[in-house]
A and B are shown apart, each in its own frame.
Chain A
Amino acid sequence: DIQMTQSPSSLSASVGERVTISCRASQTINRYLNWYQQKPGQAPKFLIYSASSLQSGVPSRFSGSGSGTDFTLTITSLQPEDFATYYCQQSYSTTYTFGQGTKLEIK
């Protein structure tokens, strides 16, 4: 299986700040990388596909970048509703795998 490693595992930030979450694949996955947001008690919400393409309806303060093995999710100007856990997920292989998650908390 392709292992996905996110860093950091948790992150504290303030409203209005810019944050970056990293995701690394154990082998190249080209741009087959998705990002999801999950809040407690809710289903994951799909944010970004193909490493950098924003899903319709997702605020433009979210952006993704990267290719190969290293990827980044950036949130500019954090809003109160952005505090959640974020997961990356590869779709390069037919056995999809997720990162372990990054919990973004309010400072």
Chain B
Amino acid sequence: QLQLQESGPGLVKTSETLSLTCTVSGGSISSSSYSWGWIRLPPGKGLEWIGRIYSSGSTYYNPSLMGRVTISVDTSRNQFSLNLSSASAADTALYYCARLGYSRDGVDFYYYMDVWGKGTTVIVSS
């Protein structure tokens, strides 16, 4: 059964880079049927989409984070990572990684996040 596990520092200093890794087990990150994403849940707020990556390395990012966010993949380690530069208190959140699957209906591709990690809390503070 596919499992995802986030890892990384729980405390990041203001203006530094927030770095997290998601390790995929029970399946290959190289599967062309899936892509891999990051989502966060700030305290007292709703879920926010950060971005996604395909095993090929192509990425899509939330424009609100553009310029600060980088998602990368390491197929040899079956991992993908999130880097968020110039971190501020607004980046304090519970961070999740997830697998994106899809259902195809003709020319329509319905994407969804079907497997999630348990999440890791990151606090940004000086």
The residues of A with any CB-CB pair to B shorter than 8 Å are 1, 30-32, 34, 36, 42-46, 49-50, 53, 55, 87, 89, 91, 94-101
Q: Please, which residues of chain B bring their CB within 8 A of the CB of A101?
A: 46-47
Does B117 belong to the interface (CB within 8 Å)? yes
In the complex, number of A-B residue pairs with CB atoms less than 8 Å apart: 61
Known contacts A34-B112, A44-B47: does B119 contact A94 (CB below 8 Å)?
Answer: no
Q: A43-B119, A50-B103, A95-B63 given as contacts; is B114 within 8 A of A55 (CB)?
A: yes
Tell me which of B46, B63, B111, B114 contacts A87 (CB under 8 A): B46
Majority secondary structure of chain A interface residues (helix, strand, loop or mixed) = loop
Q: Which residues of B are found within 8 Å of A98, using beta-carbon distances?
A: 46-49
Report B's interface with A, CB cutoff 8 A. 45-49, 60, 62-64, 96, 103, 105, 108, 110-119
Most buried by A among B64, B96, B103, B113: B113
Q: CB < 8 Å: which of A42, A49, A87, A97 contacts B110?
A: A49
CA distance A42 to B112 in the complex (A): 18
Which of chain A's residues have a CB closer than 8 A to the CB of B48? 98
Known contacts A43-B96, A44-B96, A53-B103, A91 near B47 by CB under 8 Å: no
Q: How far is the CA of A49 from the CA of B103 in the complex (A)?
A: 8
- The contact sample of 13 A-B pairs, CB cut-off 8 A, is A30-B108, A43-B116, A43-B118, A44-B96, A44-B113, A46-B116, A50-B103, A53-B103, A89-B113, A91-B110, A94-B60, A100-B46, A101-B47
A17 to chain B, nearest CB (A): 25
A50-B105, A101-B46 given; name 17 further pairs at CB < 8 Å. Answer: A32-B110, A34-B113, A42-B118, A43-B96, A43-B119, A44-B116, A46-B114, A46-B115, A46-B116, A50-B103, A53-B103, A87-B47, A89-B113, A91-B111, A96-B49, A99-B46, A101-B47
- Which residues of A lie under 8 Å from residue B110 when comparing CB positions? 31-32, 49-50, 53, 91
